[in-house]
């Protein structure tokens, strides 16, 4: 237990996770079961993620729009697999303004149907393509077992929806956005991911194929952190999304959809945080730096704060920083609080630092201390932020490597996953029945089927293709796939 009463990861990982979410004031339980209240600390983090990702989505040619929360029930039924996948978890509105509605309205679980109804109206010609739209919104899925950020009945996300003239363009778009998610996960979240294809059992309801990025959590479980779906012409046929080509022939569009959600906040916590609280990659941290003054008398307090005013002035425009000059708390108490909340750097300034014209810089992740002269403070902060961003990624990668195994037979696979959680590369024949059986017996599912090099998109870190025998049935397997227990 830390002084904040955070359970250690070794003792109970899932309690540790909840302790951090609640005590770092990221989120709280709502009076409606399964819903969550995102508190200002959590929302500031979401805003940082949203801003970075929004720029990346716009830089790849997409524009934002907003579609309604309610979807006519009949829309959902137009695509057979889609309704089968989503209807059981839909919230349905049957009464509005005191009167029974003629047609019930679904609260959106995802927006393909209503968006493609509009696309059918807007797209007339090949000149209208590609149509590249993203929306930031909330969605509702009636979950039975919920956990703050990871699985909640209502959550926030972005969902991109595109329409193209050819299947090749749609496939290219599906992979492009998977690449955007990988870049965001690795460069902003400092979280290494495997990218690849989902099996039919795990793919999006109504999609031709689904790609995902899969992240490693510190307890050895996988977390699906983003998905990108090639919808083929399934929805275009259901919603009559058609265009006239250059020869005035009517053709169905080829579509994609892709999304990430507030689940990423859960991933971020479980990828980097420690027993003292939240650890955040500097690029996403709402505050990069907190300045903590140290004094024992009023006279010292005046001198220290005047000095901080001088040094913090030029830093304010450069960094997201806060000076914690609260009088009722001792410095040690403040240190623990800011560590719990995950501020990457702390600058300690006491009377001796004023005399020496310097300050002490402390990193949240390693607690490494650096004595900096006054003229070196900005350079010291820059270097520490960059090093922390890079090292968080490296440590996450090392942890993943340390918990990754490659096995060829089922007995070893079961033994491994009985005692603990691992990422396991193991052979599979391609049959859903085999995946089902292994999942039932071990709780591990196929997280990703790696891209072949020839598919123009590789899966770094995956073992090279090697023939083997399927874990479940012994039939030939062209290459190993990634198995893990997942959130
Ligand atoms: Zn098999």
Q: Is 357 helix (H, G, I), strand (E, B) or coil?
A: coil
Output the six-digit token pair for 444: 């591990």
Domain positions in the chain are 13-69+109-272, 289-400, 404-484
Per residue in 283-329, pLDDT (tens digit) is 999 999 999 999 999 999 999 999 999 999 999 999 999 999 999 99
User: If you measure from the C-alpha of residue 435 to the centroid of ligand 1, how many angstroms do you get, rounded to a whole number?
Assistant: 7
Peptide bond into 115 cis (omega under 30): no
User: If you measure from the C-alpha of residue 433 to the centroid of ligand 1, how many angstroms do you get, rounded to a whole number?
Assistant: 7
User: If you measure from the C-alpha of residue 438 to the centroid of ligand 1, how many angstroms do you get, rounded to a whole number?
Assistant: 10
Instruction: Kindly state the average pLDDT of the residues 155-183.
Output: 97
User: If you measure from the C-alpha of residue 469 to the centroid of ligand 1, how many angstroms do you get, rounded to a whole number?
Assistant: 8
Fold classified for 289-400? Rossmann fold (3.40.50)
Which contacts of 435-444 are long-range, i.e. CB under 8 A and separated by 24 or more positions? Answer: 435/199, 435/201, 435/472, 436/201, 437/472, 438/410, 438/413, 438/471, 438/472, 438/483, 441/414, 442/413, 442/414, 442/417, 442/418, 443/417, 443/485, 444/413, 444/417, 444/483, 444/484, 444/485
Per residue in 257-291, pLDDT (tens digit) is 999 999 999 999 999 999 999 999 999 999 999 99
User: If you measure from the C-alpha of residue 423 to the centroid of ligand 1, how many angstroms do you get, rounded to a whole number?
Assistant: 19
User: If you measure from the C-alpha of residue 425 to the centroid of ligand 1, how many angstroms do you get, rounded to a whole number?
Assistant: 15
Q: Specify the pLDDT at position 466.
A: 86
Query: How many angstroms separate the CA atoms of 73 and 70, rounded?
Result: 9
Name the helix (H) or strand (E) containing 355: helix 351-356
User: If you measure from the C-alpha of residue 436 to the centroid of ligand 1, how many angstroms do you get, rounded to a whole number?
Assistant: 10
CATH class of segment(s) 404-484:
alpha beta
Percentage of the residues of the chain whose pLDDT score is greater than 90: 90
Given a contact cutoff of 8 angstroms between Cβ atoms, the answer to whether 404 and 423 are in contact is: yes
- Asked if residue 454 has pLDDT above 80, the reply is no
Q: Specify the pLDDT at position 459.
A: 76
- Asked if residue 453 has pLDDT above 70, the reply is no
| DSSP letter for each residue of 135-202 | EEEEEE---SS-BTTTB-SEEEEEEEEEEESSHHHHHHHHHHHHHHHHHIIIIIS---EEEEEPPTTT
User: If you measure from the C-alpha of residue 300 to the centroid of ligand 1, how many angstroms do you get, rounded to a whole number?
Assistant: 73
Instruction: Kindly state the average pLDDT of the residues 77-83.
Output: 85
Name the residue with higher pLDDT: 87 or 220.
220
At residue 244, what are phi and psi to the nearest 5 degrees? Answer: -95, 125
User: If you measure from the C-alpha of residue 209 to the centroid of ligand 1, how many angstroms do you get, rounded to a whole number?
Assistant: 20
User: If you measure from the C-alpha of residue 178 to the centroid of ligand 1, how many angstroms do you get, rounded to a whole number?
Assistant: 28
Per residue in 212-251, pLDDT (tens digit) is 999 999 999 999 999 999 999 999 999 999 999 999 999 9
Per residue in 250-262, pLDDT (tens digit) is 999 999 999 999 9
Burial class (CB in 10 A: 0-12, 13-18, 19+), 67: middle
Mean per-residue pLDDT of the chain: 95
User: If you measure from the C-alpha of residue 206 to the centroid of ligand 1, how many angstroms do you get, rounded to a whole number?
Assistant: 24
User: If you measure from the C-alpha of residue 484 to the centroid of ligand 1, how many angstroms do you get, rounded to a whole number?
Assistant: 17
User: If you measure from the C-alpha of residue 459 to the centroid of ligand 1, how many angstroms do you get, rounded to a whole number?
Assistant: 22
Q: Specify the pLDDT at position 79.
A: 84
User: If you measure from the C-alpha of residue 287 to the centroid of ligand 1, how many angstroms do you get, rounded to a whole number?
Assistant: 50
User: If you measure from the C-alpha of residue 63 to the centroid of ligand 1, how many angstroms do you get, rounded to a whole number?
Assistant: 43
Q: Specify the pLDDT at position 267.
A: 98
User: If you measure from the C-alpha of residue 473 to the centroid of ligand 1, how many angstroms do you get, rounded to a whole number?
Assistant: 4
- Asked if residue 57 has pLDDT above 90, the reply is yes
Given a contact cutoff of 8 angstroms between Cβ atoms, the answer to whether 49 and 36 are in contact is: no
Per residue in 91-148, pLDDT (tens digit) is 999 999 999 999 999 999 999 999 999 999 999 999 999 999 999 999 999 988 899 9
Query: How many angstroms separate the CA atoms of 94 and 115, rounded?
Result: 22
User: If you measure from the C-alpha of residue 478 to the centroid of ligand 1, how many angstroms do you get, rounded to a whole number?
Assistant: 11
At residue 133, what are phi and psi to the nearest 5 degrees? Answer: -125, 145
Per residue in 356-399, pLDDT (tens digit) is 999 999 999 999 999 999 999 999 999 999 999 999 999 999 99
Q: Specify the pLDDT at position 376.
A: 96
3-state class percentages of the chain: helix first, strand second, coil last, to nearest 5 = 40, 30, 35
User: If you measure from the C-alpha of residue 429 to the centroid of ligand 1, how many angstroms do you get, rounded to a whole number?
Assistant: 4
Distances (CA, A) of 25 to 12, 28, 39, 43, 302: 20, 7, 6, 10, 32
- Asked if residue 420 has pLDDT above 90, the reply is yes
User: If you measure from the C-alpha of residue 201 to the centroid of ligand 1, how many angstroms do you get, rounded to a whole number?
Assistant: 14
| Angle value at C-alpha 34, between 28 and 36, nearest 5 degrees | 30
Name the residue with higher pLDDT: 467 or 126.
126
Fold classified for 13-69+109-272? BirA Bifunctional Protein; domain 2 (3.30.930)
Residue 57 β-bridge partners: none
Q: Specify the pLDDT at position 161.
A: 98
What's 226's DSSP letter?
A: E
Q: Specify the pLDDT at position 458.
A: 72
User: If you measure from the C-alpha of residue 481 to the centroid of ligand 1, how many angstroms do you get, rounded to a whole number?
Assistant: 12
User: If you measure from the C-alpha of residue 207 to the centroid of ligand 1, how many angstroms do you get, rounded to a whole number?
Assistant: 23
User: If you measure from the C-alpha of residue 205 to the centroid of ligand 1, how many angstroms do you get, rounded to a whole number?
Assistant: 23
pLDDT classification of 452: cutoffs 50, 70, 90: confident
Name the residue with higher pLDDT: 39 or 455.
39
| Angle value at C-alpha 225, between 73 and 190, nearest 5 degrees | 150
User: If you measure from the C-alpha of residue 416 to the centroid of ligand 1, how many angstroms do you get, rounded to a whole number?
Assistant: 19
User: If you measure from the C-alpha of residue 411 to the centroid of ligand 1, how many angstroms do you get, rounded to a whole number?
Assistant: 15
User: If you measure from the C-alpha of residue 427 to the centroid of ligand 1, how many angstroms do you get, rounded to a whole number?
Assistant: 9
Instruction: Kindly state the average pLDDT of the residues 334-361.
Output: 97
pLDDT classification of 71: cutoffs 50, 70, 90: very high
Query: How many angstroms separate the CA atoms of 228 and 212, rounded?
Result: 6
């Amino acid at each position: 237990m830390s002084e904040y009463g955070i359970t250690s990861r070794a003792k109970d990982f899932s309690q540790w996770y909840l302790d951090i979410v609640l005590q770092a004031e990221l989120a709280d339980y709502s009076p409606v079961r399964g819903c969550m209240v995102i508190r200002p600390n959590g929302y500031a983090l979401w805003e940082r993620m949203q801003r970075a990702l929004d720029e990346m989505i716009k830089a790849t040619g997409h524009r934002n729009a907003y579609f309604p929360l309610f979807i006519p029930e009949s829309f959902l039924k137009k695509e057979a697999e889609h309704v089968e996948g989503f209807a059981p978890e839909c919230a349905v509105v049957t009464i509005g303004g005191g009167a029974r509605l003629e047609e019930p309205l679904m609260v959106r679980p995802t927006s393909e149907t209503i968006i493609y109804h509009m696309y059918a109206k807007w797209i007339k010609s090949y000149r209208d393509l590609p149509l590249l739209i993203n929306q930031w919104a909330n969605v509702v899925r009636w979950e039975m077992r919920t956990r703050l950020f990871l699985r909640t009945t209502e959550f926030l996300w972005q969902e991109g929806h595109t329409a193209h003239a050819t299947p090749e363009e749609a496939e290219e778009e599906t992979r492009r956005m998977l690449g955007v998610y990988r870049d965001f996960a690795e460069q902003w979240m400092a979280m290494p991911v495997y990218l690849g294809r989902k099996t039919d059992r795990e793919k999006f309801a109504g999609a031709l194929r689904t790609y995902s990025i899969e992240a490693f959590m510190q307890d050895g479980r996988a977390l699906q952190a983003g998905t990108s779906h090639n919808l083929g012409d399934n929805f275009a046929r259901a919603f009559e999304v058609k265009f006239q080509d250059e020869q005035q022939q009517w053709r169905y569009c080829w579509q994609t959809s892709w999304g990430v959600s507030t689940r990423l906040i859960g991933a971020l916590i479980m990828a980097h945080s420690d027993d003292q609280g939240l650890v955040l990659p500097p690029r996403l941290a709402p505050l990069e730096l907190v300045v903590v003054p140290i004094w024992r008398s009023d006279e010292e307090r005046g001198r220290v704060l005047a000095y901080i005013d001088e040094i913090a002035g030029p830093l304010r425009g450069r960094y997201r920083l806060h000076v914690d000059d609260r009088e009722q708390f001792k410095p040690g108490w403040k240190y623990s609080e800011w560590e719990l909340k995950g501020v990457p750097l702390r600058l300690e300034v006491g009377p001796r630092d004023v005399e020496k014209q310097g300050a002490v810089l402390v990193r949240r992740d390693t607690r490494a201390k650096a004595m900096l002269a006054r003229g070196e403070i900005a350079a010291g902060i820059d270097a520490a932020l960059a090093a922390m961003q890079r090292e968080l990624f490296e440590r996450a990668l090392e942890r993943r490597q340390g918990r990754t195994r490659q096995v060829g037979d089922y007995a070893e696979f079961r033994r491994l996953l009985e005692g603990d959680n691992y990422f396991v590369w193991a052979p599979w024949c391609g049959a859903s029945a085999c995946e089902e059986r292994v999942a039932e017996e071990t709780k591990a599912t196929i997280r990703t089927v790696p891209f072949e090099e020839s598919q123009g998109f590789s899966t770094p870190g995956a073992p090279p293709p090697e023939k083997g025998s399927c874990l479940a049935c012994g039939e030939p397997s062209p290459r190993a796939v990634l198995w893990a227990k997942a959130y």
